[in-house]
Amino acid sequence: MTLKQFFQANPEAAVAFSGGADSAYLLYAAARYARRVRAYCARSPFQPAFEWEDARRLAGELGVGLRAVELDVLALPEVAANPPERCYHCKRAVFSAISQAARADGFPLLIDGTNASDDAADRPGMRALEELSVRSPLRECGLTKGEVRRLSKEAGLFTWDKPAYACLATRIPAGEEITREKLQKTEAAESLLFSLGFSDFRVRLLGGRAMIQLPEGQLPLLLERRGQVLDGLKGKYSAVLLDLEPRAGEPR
């Protein structure tokens, strides 16, 4: 099955849209092949501002309506406590809210950008998608992450080489309470590194300290800009550490 065939069989669809590469290509395909489509972007403390801006930009370029679905996931104890199943509870809350908004707008189907490279065993949130009957056309059509990026580049989408960006909550160790302050501090730290030219990295919280994880090729840049990094982060963290195990890049 191709995406064109999927949307011929499902001509009206609501797209759960994060602004990332996968859901961006899915939205492009839906805009091209579906009869009626709208994008729904969950806005919560777990998403950085740049993801929302990317979502707005792409929806505008594709001429697709975008609806923000506001959700305070930190109000859910099973999420804020950061248990091992946090992702499942968060995903279920987010997609329940999006599904409710989509149904109110008259859409019979909600779809998301899970692709054929995503391993369900490693993603507890995918269980929530199954329970809520959210379909994943990229996965159903056998499109891998690499193929999504290639097709996105051919389509001229600016997201084609956008690094994967897990939500801010993943920077906080499992079992440690997630607070708005910790999320905001993480977002500010990663925004600083973005502004200094780094990409596809993480700034993790370890007992009040920042642990920077970088791809191996960016380690020389860190040494070059060490002073700027320390000046920007030391006021927010008790110490700034570097993980000497290089962050593995996404296969391309």
| Cβ-proximal residues to 74 (8 Å cutoff; 6+ apart), any chain | 45, 80, 178, 179, 180
DSSP state of 179: -
Question: What does the pLDDT average to over 201-206?
Answer: 95
Per-residue model confidence as pLDDT tens digits over 69-84: 999 999 999 999 999 9
At residue 251 the predicted structure's pLDDT band, cuts being 50, 70 and 90, is very low
| Cβ-proximal residues to 60 (8 Å cutoff; 6+ apart), any chain | 66
3-state secondary structure of 240: strand
* Whether 59 contacts 32, CB under 8 Å: no
3-state secondary structure of 16: strand
Mean pLDDT of the chain: 93
Domain map (residue ranges) of the chain: 3-155, 179-242
Q: Identify which of 70, 49, 46, 58 has the alpha carbon closest to the alpha carbon of residue 19.
A: 58
Tokens of 170: 């993943």
Q: Identify which of 246, 188, 237 has the alpha carbon closest to the alpha carbon of residue 213.
A: 246
Tokens of 247: 């962050």
Least confident of 49-63, 218-232, 236-250: 236-250
- Spatial distance between the Cα atoms of 50 and 187, rounded to a whole number of angstroms: 10
- Count of Cβ atoms closer than 10 Å to residue 196 Cβ: 14
| Cβ-proximal residues to 21 (8 Å cutoff; 6+ apart), any chain | 145, 148, 149, 152, 157, 159, 160, 161, 162, 164
Q: Which fold has domain 179-242?
A: Alpha-Beta Plaits (3.30.70)
* Whether 30 contacts 15, CB under 8 Å: yes
Which CATH class, in words, describes the domain spanning 3-155? alpha beta
Calculate the alpha carbon distances from 169 to 80, 173, 179, 183, 203 in Å: 9, 9, 9, 7, 11
Q: Model's pTM, two decimal places? A: 0.90
Q: What's the Rg (C-alpha) of the chain? A: 19
Per-residue model confidence as pLDDT tens digits over 209-233: 999 999 999 999 999 999 999 999 9
> At which residue do the structure tokens 């809520």 appear?
132
Percent of the chain at pLDDT > 90 equals 87
